[in-house]
Amino acid sequence: MIRVIAMDMDGTLLNSRKKISPRTREALLRAQERGILLILASGRPARGLTEFARELEMDSHHGLLVCYNGSKVVDCQTGEELFNQAMTVEEGRAVLEHMKKFDQVRPMIDRGEYMYVNNVYNQMIHVDGKEFNVIQYESRGGHYKLCEKDDLAAFADFPLNKILTTADPEYLKAHCQEMMEPFKDSLSCMFTGKFYFEFTAKGIDKAKALDAVLTPMGYKREEMIAFGDGYNDASMLAYAGRSVAMANGVEELKAQADEVTASLDEDGIALVVERILK
């Protein structure tokens, strides 16, 4: 019996217009009425998830927000932090100092309502032959105000849940090994999209966060179904008793999953949830 539904956000729950479709919303509302726990699991911070949680009425059902790829979990009804494992100040500063060697990499960090970058006007990367304003995209998605800091490493005197870096996909692919080399044994370093490379505390992923909070709550992994589309969803799908990849997902994830559903614009989640509820 399914008692937990865990979902990635971008590329999975949200369609290409960054919305939850009416059919998917209705299916997930019905699931909660049946007592199924909903979990949003994303690289986003909590402030980038709360509007969607409210739309799904998760704030009335103790739904969970797995943020920063698993380094923090929040009960979206009470606001309580159920799990939090950030990098140390020294680890965060070391990453930010190392990123200075890569002239096309743009690091981004957050604190409170602000996202901090070196240059708010150095916004554009090239993705699939088109220019993309990545700083605007990230700041709007997380509901952040933007602030410039010439030296992020010197500024970051507080623990960071995540350091997000971005560049043209070709540049990141060519330099990712060098970017992660000093930290490969001490931090989790991974692609979360073709133009995103992220750093979190060692061992952090979505599966660890889920296990840390669900086991004490009395849920079993066999009772969970998980949906995802990207590399950073692999641990979550491996953890869940039933795993579903989106048709628009990366090939490696689709090969791993128990099932491949329709794409983000074809109500892929709703199709599966409706079957569960029958």
Helices (H) and strands (E) counted in the chain, each on its own, are 10, 16
Q: CA–CA separation, 189 vs 177, rounded Å?
A: 10
pTM of the model: 0.94
DSSP state, residue 84: E
- CB contact at 8 A, 66 and 76: no
pLDDT digits (tens, 9 = 90+) for 189-240: 999 889 999 999 999 999 999 999 999 999 999 999 999 999 999 999 999 9
* Structural contact between residues 209 and 41, judged by C-beta atoms closer than 8 angstroms: yes
Distance from C-alpha of 261 to C-alpha of 240, rounded to nearest angstrom: 16
pLDDT of residue 193: 87
Residue 82: its pLDDT value, please?
97
Total residue length of the chain: 278
User: Distance between CA 242 and CA 108 in Å, rounded?
Assistant: 34
pLDDT one-digit tens code per residue, 6-21:
999 999 999 999 999 9
Provide the pLDDT confidence category of residue 38 given band limits of 50, 70 and 90: very high
- The CB density around residue 176, as the number of other CB atoms within 10 Å, is 18
**Gap between the Cα atoms of 117 and 149, Å rounded:** 6
Tens of pLDDT, residues 142-176? 999 999 999 999 999 999 999 999 999 999 999 99
C-alpha distances (whole Å) from 110 to each of 43, 161, 196, 260 are 13, 9, 16, 34
The tens digit of pLDDT for each residue in 74-131 reads 999 999 999 999 999 999 999 999 999 999 999 999 999 999 999 999 999 999 999 9
What is the Cα–Cα distance from 83 to 73, expressed in whole angstroms? 5
Mean pLDDT of the 263-271 span: 98
* Sheet containing 145-148, strands listed edge to edge, beginning at the edge strand earlier in sequence: 145-148, 114-117, 106-111, 163-166, 196-201, 187-193
**Is the distance from CB of 152 to CB of 107 less than 8 angstroms?**
yes
Contacts 24+ apart (CB under 8 A), 132-138: 132/195, 134/106, 134/166, 134/195, 135/106, 135/108, 138/108, 138/164, 138/166
Q: Which of 158, 196, 178 is CA-nearest to residue 100? A: 178
Beta strands in 112-254 (DSSP E): 114-117, 124-127, 130-133, 145-148, 163-166, 187-193, 196-201, 224-228, 242-246
Q: In degrees rounded to 5, what are phi and psi of residue 115?
A: -110, 130
Write out the two tokens for 223.
């009772």
